[in-house]
Structures are given as structure tokens and as C-alpha cells.
Amino acid sequence: MAEEELDTGLRERLQALAAAEQDPLPERARARVVDAVRRDTRQRRVRKIGAGVCAAIAAAAGVALWLAPATPAPDAATPTAHAPTVKADECALVQAARGVRFEASRGGGRSLVVAGHLRVVATSGASATRMLVEPCTVAIDLQAGRVAVQARDRKGGELRVRTTHGDVVVRGTTFSVNASEDALAVELVEGSVQVERARRAALTLAAGEALVARGQTVTRTPLTAQARATLLAQLAADAPTPAASAEQVAAPQEPAAPEQPEAAPNAQAPPPAESLLARADGARRDGRVADARRLYRKAGGQRGPAAEAAWLRLARMEMERGRERAARAALDAHGRRFASGVLAAEASWIHVQLVQHKGEDAATRAAAKALIRAHPKSPQARAARRLLRNAGVGDP
């Protein structure tokens, strides 16, 4: 039809835009799809075999009925009752996860909630997708960035976080996985996880442990209180909206913040501290120090462990940049707002390091001893004892 003219100019303009739109899928996505297709083929074969056996039994039962109509076998009417059980396609976990996607959450990241089973929170900037691997695996494909996971009743299914450097298989519980270009980092709060890497023995991580795998090197350390608090805060900050949360996995208990946040100047809720903290970390990594400072302070003005962590990260950043006075100011702010916060031991350790940087040996020892007295069982106390031993001072 002459009047149905298609506009080739429009087409050229749109095609030029489309070239920018989507990154290609990573190379390893193809391997995953090939795996999925193979599994599907195998499962269909199993079903075919099962159906064939059913048909054979049905036929045999029919013949038996025909040959001996006077003495029907009790099961003759339901011959399939004795057929071998064909394995179900999906377990309860996969069924529950079907159709569930990562969705924007109020913490600024994205979260995936499988009601009653698990919650996965991806920080802003993280690249994570949900995959279902039949018959019974939910896999989180983490290309980059960090996810925090809280797994409850997996109904016998498997939860697996896949990264370039290896997989983390859930045996519990509450943990985070951080994938970067050259390393895989796992922090475990509760339960246990297994870290599986290609051509290497699997490692089982227990609660309270952290692991960094970089090439051949694997470092296992105790999980710091700060890391624990940050992970829990991430899960808490990205909790689903109250209306939707009734059936969903309960958020972990957030340690009580001892102080109220600064009064909000207007009625609009500020971004959550966890979101600000993540943005501040990003700015620091990108070298945007002024932005990082501003965001850390803003996060620190709120409540909860993320706010508390913000002051300490600001202090550490300033200390690393040689700005001792600014670092001390951040520590002081932390002390004022979170006098008995969950990260007090970490704050004390930063204080020790600050004094040490100034070359004040006596003050350093005194600060280390004070830390050990105040937080004797903390990882920071262990570091302080090591420092004292190196300085020739025994345990206080």
C-alpha cells in the first residue's frame, strides 16, 4: 500500500541508538546455557524411559488381565502404581524461586526474596542475576560486586553463588560474596559455606570466618566485627517493604544503635546509611575523595551499624591519606554518636594506629593496652597484643 510508507530515516536514527544499548553477555554465559540444554536433554530422556517402562508395565498388566480374568490381581486396574518413580523436575526451592527476580530495594541496591527460603541483597553497582538450575539449584551468578545472602529453609535444594573465581555453595545461612577482577572474597556470619574453585579442593568456611581467594593464594581470617556489622546492615537496610515482608525471610537482628540520628530537616526520608556507605566506598575507590568524605559524613548522620561504619571508614581513609587531624575528627564523631557501638573495638584500633603513625611510642602502647582491656576477645585485641609483643611489651 502506497500510503503505508515506512520511514527509513527513523530506522537509521534508532539503529544508531540501539548500538549503545546493551552489553553483550559474558563468554561464560554460553557455557551455562550449553549445560542447561544438556541437562534438559538428559531429563527428557529419563522421562521417556520412565514413560516407556510405565507403558510396558501397563501392557504386561493388560496381558495378565486378559489371560486370567477370573483372578484379577489387586493392582491390575492401576498398573502405573508399580512404575518406577520418575524424578520430579523441580524441588520446592526451585519452584518457589521461579518467577522471582532481583528487584530494586529501599537500600539502594537490588534484592531477591524467595519467601520463606532466602534473601539475596546485591549492592548498587553489583552485577548479579538469578539462574534456576533444574532439578534443585538456585544459582546467583555474580559477575562483579557484592551480594549478601540470608538462606533459611532451602527445602533440600542447593543455593550457589557463582563467580569467575569459583562457586560458593550454601550450607547455612548468612554470608556475603564479593567478586572482583582478580579475587573472590567471602564473609560468613552464620552457618557454613563451601567454596569451590576449578581444579582446587573445596574449602568449607565456618561461621565467623572470612576468606579471600586470589589466584593460588587463599587467605582465611576471622571475620571482623565491622565486616559482620556491615553485612548485617546491608541485609537489614535492603529489607523488603513492610507490606511485603510478612511472608518473607525475616531480616537479621540489627544491633541496637545507641544514639538517635540527627533530626531530619524535612519529612522526606534520606537514603539509607548502607546505600550512602556503598556510594562513599565507590567514590573512594574512584579517587573522588571529596565526594567520599561528604557521603561518609552523610551516612554517619544516620542510625545503625552502617552509619557507625561510615565514621570509621572515613577515619581510615583520612589516616591513609596522612590527614591525621581529619582522621581524629572522624573518630571523635564516632565516639560522640556511637559511644558504645558495635564497632568500638575497631575505633580503638584505628586510634592505636593513629598514635603509632605520629611516632608516640608510649602513647601507642597505652592505647593498645586500653584496647585490650576494653575488648579483650576482639580480633583487634589480638592485633594490639601482637603490636605490644613486637614492641617488647608483654600482655597487660
Partner 1 sequence: MPPDDTGDVNQLARTAPAGAAMAAVTDDWVTRAAAGDPAAQERLIREQWPRVEGLLARMLGPRADLEDLVQTVFIETVRALPRFRGDSKVSTFVGGITVRVAMRAMRARGRAPRVVPLPSQLLSSEPGPERRAEAVELLQRVRALLEDLSEVKRVAFMLWALEGMAVDEIATLMGASVPATRSRIFYAQKELRTRAARHPELRALIGAGDG
Among residues 2, 10, 91, 190, the one that binds partner 1 under rule CB under 8 A: 10
Q: Can residue 121 be called a binding residue for partner 1 (CB under 8 A)?
A: no
Q: Quick one: 15 or 253, whose CB is closer to partner 1?
A: 15
353 closest CA partner among 379, 326, 327, 335: 327
Measured from the CB atom, the residue of 105 and 173 that comes closer to partner 1 is 105
List the Cα angle 28/33/35 in 5-degree steps.
95
Interacting positions 124-163 with partner 1 (CB under 8 A): 125, 127, 129-132, 134, 141
d(CA 43, CA 50): 10
* Segment contacting partner 1 by CB under 8 A, of 22-30, 156-164, 208-216, 242-250: 22-30
Under a CB-based contact definition with an 8 Å cutoff, are residues 121 and 105 in contact? yes
Would you count residue 23 as binding partner 1 (CB under 8 A)? yes
Beta strand 166-170 pairing with 174-179: unpaired
Is-contact 295 276, C-beta < 8 A? yes
Identify the bridge partners of residue 160 per DSSP, sorted by sequence position.
139, 169
Q: Is 179 in the site for partner 1 (CB under 8 A)?
A: no
- In terms of CB distance, is 21 or 247 closer to partner 1? 21
Q: Name the minimum Å distance from CB 248 to partner 1.
A: 16
> In angstroms, what is the minimal distance from the CB of 144 to partner 1?
9
Contacts of 365-369 with CB under 8 Å at 24 or more apart are 365/391, 365/393, 369/396
User: Cis before residue 135, ω within 30 degrees of 0?
Assistant: yes
The grid coordinates of residue 339 equal 559511644
Is residue 7 a contact residue for partner 1 (CB under 8 A)? yes
Report DSSP state, residue 215: T
Instruction: Please report how close the Cβ of residue 101 comes to partner 1 at its closest, in angstroms.
Output: 5
CB of 257 to partner 1, least distance (A): 31
Question: How far is 246 from 99, CA to CA, in rounded Å?
Answer: 19
For partner 1, how many residues bind (rule: CB under 8 A)?
48
- Which lies closer to partner 1 via its Cβ, residue 32 or residue 106? 32
Helix (H, G, I), strand (E, B) or coil at 218: strand
Residue ranges in 81-120 that form contacts with partner 1 under rule CB under 8 A: 98-99, 101-104, 110
From the list 2, 15, 359, 377, which residue makes contact with partner 1 (rule: CB under 8 A)?
15
3-state secondary structure of 332: helix
Q: Which CB atom, from 144 or from 363, has the smaller least distance to partner 1?
A: 144
Distance of CA 14 to the CA centre of its chain: 38
Min. distance of Cβ 279 from partner 1 in angstroms?
A: 13
**Residue among 2, 17, 263, 362 that touches partner 1 (CB under 8 A):** 17
Identify residues 31-60 at the interface with partner 1 (CB under 8 A): 32-34, 36-38, 40-41, 44-45
Tell the residue number behind the cell numbers 520418575, with chain if given: 86
- Closer residue to partner 1 in complex, CB, 11/87: 11
DSSP 201: -
Q: Which of residues 235-294 bind partner 1 (CB under 8 A)?
A: none
Place of cell 554460553: 30
Residue 271 preceded by cis peptide, ω within 30: no
**Residues in the site for partner 1, rule: CB under 8 A?**
1, 4-7, 9-11, 13-25, 29-30, 32-34, 36-38, 40-41, 44-45, 98-99, 101-104, 110, 125, 127, 129-132, 134, 141
